[in-house]
Amino acid sequence: MNANFPHPAPQPTPDKSSLPIVHRKPPRAAVMVPLPGTPAAWPKVSLKKVCLRYRTNGSAPLEALKNIDLEVRSGEFLCVVGPSGCGKSTLLHLIAGLERQTSGEITINNRAVQGTGTDRILIFQELGLFPWLTVAQNVGFGMRMKGVPKPERESRIREYLRLVHLSQFKASYIHQLSGGMRQRVALARALATEPDVLLMDEPFAALDAQTRDLLHDELERIWAETGRTIVFVTHNVREAVRLGDRVLLLTFRPGQIKREYPVVLPRPRHLEDVHVAGAAREILNDLRAEIDKSLEAEYGDEARA
């Protein structure tokens, strides 16, 4: 057992407790093994040797992502952390189909990603809620685009507003809501199109600590209730450990997978929990090296002084 990760309360299931809490270098195959009761023959999301290079004027092309190999199980909560500029948002844009990789293959349910599609919905950091629509119209937008008939649309709007506890605000406009409420509208809007995969790009970064804690609980509850697959990008390692089944660390430019950390702490977890903090510290140590690299790239010699 890993000394850096004190085991939490005694585990009821012996087979689980025999697992180390964090694999330092987990064998790839272990990630692929479907959980008992998940019959999926292929991973929900799969990336094979995905690279993304940006052409720049004159100088060498910028390598944003390099050889990303990744598989996300159905129903898994995967968190991605990395220094700023590691391409973690870009990774989500690629999966969402908003950008196209230079090489490699991305599949959802074993089908190659071709542009955007409502089988995967991205929640942007800036949310991108539509200020000219009411809360209910925002939530119903994806369904309207898909051509879901109005009665079904309305019942689903009600259902998802109830799920995020915003039923009373269905007729409000976005600017009338607090940051946490807007966040929940974005979540309901994404869920209402009933995607297989939910992609979340630092969704809670701009919120105060209390609201964020509350939304962590809610997201976890909704995830458990709906059984969605979630890929969650954050720069907050503790948040990643709090929420994820697995945490992925990306390197600074070009973004590559540095290491994976399965998190086998019992849920619900708490952000302030010692075990969460302990697991986060381990990841943070590895992350620090990458942050140093990113600082050096940004500030050059000043960073070393």
Partner 1 sequence: MKRALRNLLFYAALIGAWALLARLRVWPPYLFPTPWGVAEAIWAGFADHSFWIAIGVSMRRMLLGYGLSVVLGIALGMSVAGSRFLDQTLGGLLVSLQSLPSICWLPIAVLWFGLSEKAILFVVVMGSLLSVTISMETGRKQLPKIYSMAGRNLGARGLKLFLNVTLPASLPYIVTGLKQGWAFAWRSLISGEMIFVTLGLGQLLMMGRDLNDMSQVVAVMILIVALGYIVDGLVFKTIERLLEQRWGLAAS
Stretch binding partner 1 (CB under 8 A), from 66-74, 117-125, 205-213, 292-300: 117-125
Q: How far apart are CA 232 and CA 91, in angstroms?
A: 11
- Mark residues 177-196: x for contact with partner 1 by CB under 8 A, - for none: ------------x---x---
Cis peptide before 36 (omega within 30 of 0): no
- In the chain, DSSP assigns E strands to 45-54, 62-72, 77-81, 103-108, 111-112, 120-123, 197-201, 229-233, 246-250, 257-262
Does position 136 interact with partner 1 (CB under 8 A)? The reply is no
User: Counting contacts by CB under 8 A, is residue 131 touching partner 1?
Assistant: yes
| In the complex, minimum distance from the CB of residue 49 to partner 1, in angstroms, rounded to a whole number | 25
Chain positions 45 to 84 lying near partner 1, rule: CB under 8 A, are: none
Q: Is 175 in the site for partner 1 (CB under 8 A)?
A: yes
| Beta carbon of residue 305, minimum distance to partner 1 (angstroms, whole number) | 37
For position 116 contacting partner 1 by CB under 8 A, the verdict is yes
Nearest distance from residue 262's CB to partner 1, in Å? 29
Asked whether 248 and 79 are in contact (CB, 8 A), the reply is yes
| Contact region with partner 1 (CB under 8 A), list: 46-54, 58-66, 124-132, 220-228 | 124-132
234 touching partner 1, by CB under 8 A: no
Q: Which of 112, 132, 168, 302 binds partner 1 (CB under 8 A)?
A: 132
Q: What are phi and psi of 108, to 5 degrees?
A: -120, 130
Compute the least distance from the CB of residue 113 to partner 1, in Å. 13
Task: Name the one range near partner 1 by CB under 8 A: 121-129, 161-169, 218-226, 255-263.
Answer: 121-129
Q: b/e for 288-303, b at 16 or more Cβ within 10 A?
A: eebbebbbeeeeeeee
238 binds partner 1 (CB under 8 A): no
Helix (H, G, I), strand (E, B) or coil at 212: helix
In this structure, the dihedral spanned by the alpha carbons of residues 39, 42, 43 and 48, taken in order and rounded to 10 degrees, is 170
DSSP output for 244-266: -SEEEEEPSSSB-EEEEEE--PP
What residue ranges bind partner 1 (CB under 8 A)?
96, 98, 116-118, 121-122, 124, 126-133, 141-142, 144-146, 173-176, 189, 193
